[in-house]
Structure 1
Amino acid sequence: MTNPKYRSWLKEYCDDHGDHMIRASEEMVLYLLEIDRKLPNEYGWRFSSEDALRKQLNEAANNYRERNSIFWEDQARNVEAYSVMTLWRGAELARACLNGVNEKEVIAPAVLGRSLLELSTVFLLNANSLHKTFGELSFPENTLVTSTEVEELVVKMIWGTRYGEPEPHVTQTNIMTSLQRLSRNPKADKLMPTYNFLCDIAHPSFIGNTSYWSHVESVYPDGSEKRILSRSSSRQFNEEILDKTIWALGWSSACIRNAFEIMSEANQILLGKLKAS
């Protein structure tokens, strides 16, 4: 699959921009797509249902080391599968967003940018949480070690939803809770303003309408104006929408790849401790 690059007009626009993330955005997108290109197009995931996992644990009887390995290796496999799915998803959104921006589209890339912010925020929070947990985990001799908290988080990462009436354990956390949590980090100070702006474009609201406002062609004697609306790709575009979209694209691309690498390292830490126990 050929990864898109910034067209000359977009590269020139970003190169001279005052915002560092917008200047670095192409590098961040390629940073994400590079690792996506290295992943296979199919991935084998050994999945154990609750009953299957219970059967495996029962067969290990009182062998604590084996039971710990069964439980935690299952968590590691689920974490890895989640990471692959999320990176695939992020790369697909990033490609589509960039393709739209390259074509000077406005609404679709902005909506995709909003989706990227949601995905990258949750992915990064989950990655940091598991990395911290696995880093603190220990396996005392002759001790069965499990974690309801990790199980619940992993289940929600993969099966969490707010569609319909899901059971409490798979009811996904409200996205605003995750966004507000991450935005408390000084490095994410532009996250919420950018997200709220892009939401207004996704909704049938004012900012999305302005993307079709081209120019004032004439002014009538009474002061009213003839305003030209246009959907032409050559119309005068709203730079604020473009800036927010590019910022979301670049920031999210960096976060998604970083989260993928953090998750991978977390699994390595966990599996290393199991091997040494």
Structure 2
Amino acid sequence: MAPRIVDAHCHLDAFSDDELIGVLADARAAGVVLLITVGMDVATSRRGTGIAAAHEPVLAAVGLHPWNAQDFPDGAPVAELEALAGADDVVAVGEIGLDFVDNSWLGLSYADPALRARQERVFRDQLQMARRLGLPVILHSRGAHATTTRVLAEEGMEEVGGCVQFFEGTPADVEAYAALGFGFSVGSSVTFPGAAGAWHETVRAIPPELLLVESDAPWLPYHGHASTRSAPADLIAIGAAIARVRGVEPEALLGAATANVDRVLRTVRTPA
């Protein structure tokens, strides 16, 4: 029997309305029973909540990505995000976090302490909102794991928990997040030849009960994919790659990852 799959992290707002019909149909055909579309700012969060309201297999997260923090010197747009978070289909605050790796897309050096401080303020604003609303958080953390876990602990986020997109890090970082009750969603980065070695050790270090799978669609297609964009249906290939790294059967891995969603993202109820 084919596994029932949950896409723990995608960006359905980045697809046009016409594209979305095909993307969801392909996902359903691949066995994806639930998708969590994640916002990066107020506009994408608003579109994500609209998609979730219109399409039953979709839930949403709302948040401001650290790449956008520099545009908010007075802190995160909490009032707007909190209004969106009141929708029935919103199950998390995200994608939020810290990114200290220089951003070539935006031409920004995050070595600048002022930019790091602004990111941290925006991050804390949203963590406090999540605690107030009782929602788990979906994290983006690059080159910032020590600071991210310190801030999570200081803000008492073990109370609501959540999931970190884990595209880089160490087994020690896994241990630090897991101690705070956080899970990990793994995606297409594991499929690339350069990921072997240290990154695969990190993927193997994730406790089995805290592992989720994600497409991050439409970004980061898996290695060897004919398309320049990814889609939730790609989780079949991504799951197979993760299973090879962890030495388990793909069906077992994907089935366990689906069972983990309700534990890691505590407001989610996976459909029967």
Q: TM-score, normalised by structure 2?
A: 0.24
Between Structure 1 and Structure 2, the one with more strand by share is 2
Between Structure 1 and Structure 2, the one with more helix by share is 1
> Which is bigger in relative contact order (C-alpha 8 A, separation at least 6)?
1
